[in-house]
Amino acid sequence: MPLPPTDPNAVFLNIPYDEEFHRLYLAYIVGLHVLGFTPRIASGIPGGERRLDRVIALIQSCRYSIHDLSRVELSPAPPATPRFNMPLELGMTVTWAKLHPKRHTWFLWESMPMRLQKSMSDLDGTDPYIHSGTAEGVLSQLRNAFVRDGAAPIQRMIECYRLVESNVERILDEAGTRNIYSASVFRELCFVSLDAASSAGDELQP
């Protein structure tokens, strides 16, 4: 069976879909667009297939993936439950990359240094990027992880982020939803991020 095609600029985002993560989610979307990448999330593709199949297809289609394991706390809503989706998707990605190292590279992200050694000791020897739970942290660490000649300076990335952030409420209102992770809102956030990125400087153009 032939391997599925890989988009060299696509980045699969394995993140928690919760309210506390909105700002960081937005920072990932804006930052990746400014750096010339295309972020992809599980909710950003049409439904119909089983979720796990969609996730596997997504991982296979992306050259890179970011696994943000900063939410290891139990969910506040009863029953208090740990999140296992992200470690599961990380495990699938690690396997895929192990089988096809030239097709996929994965990165770990955390908000606190050293915590990963405790939460997932099997990954000892893999240093995560630490974003400290801030949008600025995500943006600067994206720039450190993905080194691209002529990349926009961090200040410009922050300006793009603020510009997009100022429109989030309006986009949600006009979409008639409060779910920032919905497929239609994700697409529009990508569009405005591209618009912000394209006006942020010549270095962002191909």
Partner 1 sequence: MPRSVHITAPIDPLETRIKQLRIPKARQKQLRAMMDEARARMAREEQVRLEERIVPEEKPQNASAAD
Binding site for partner 1 (CB under 8 A): 8-9, 35-36, 38, 63-64, 105, 107-108, 126-129, 144-148, 162-163, 166-167, 170-171, 174, 187-188, 190-192, 194-196, 198-199, 204-206
- Burial class of residue 133 in the structure, from the number of CB atoms within 10 Å of its CB (0-12 exposed, 13-18 middle, 19+ buried): middle
Q: How far apart are CA 150 and CA 80, in angstroms?
A: 46
Query: Minimum distance between the CB of residue 83 and partner 1, rounded to whole angstroms?
Result: 22
Query: Minimum distance between the CB of residue 72 and partner 1, rounded to whole angstroms?
Result: 18
Q: Tokens representing 162?
A: 């603020």
Of 1 and 147, nearer to partner 1 (C-beta) is 147
Query: Minimum distance between the CB of residue 190 and partner 1, rounded to whole angstroms?
Result: 6
Q: How far apart are CA 66 and CA 192, in angstroms?
A: 21
Query: Minimum distance between the CB of residue 107 and partner 1, rounded to whole angstroms?
Result: 7
Contact 186, 44 (CB under 8 A): yes
Query: Cα-atom radius of gyration of the chain, to the nearest Å?
Result: 17
Query: Minimum distance between the CB of residue 156 and partner 1, rounded to whole angstroms?
Result: 13
Of 18 and 201, nearer to partner 1 (C-beta) is 201
Question: Rounded to whole angstroms, what are the CA distances from 121 to 70, 117, 124, 127, 142?
Answer: 15, 5, 5, 11, 24
Of 8 and 82, nearer to partner 1 (C-beta) is 8
Of 134 and 144, nearer to partner 1 (C-beta) is 144
Of 51 and 170, nearer to partner 1 (C-beta) is 170
Query: Minimum distance between the CB of residue 101 and partner 1, rounded to whole angstroms?
Result: 12
Q: How far apart are CA 81 and CA 74, in angstroms?
A: 5
Question: Rounded to whole angstroms, what are the CA distances from 98 to 31, 105, 123, 166?
Answer: 27, 9, 14, 41
Contact 38, 7 (CB under 8 A): yes
Of 18 and 103, nearer to partner 1 (C-beta) is 103
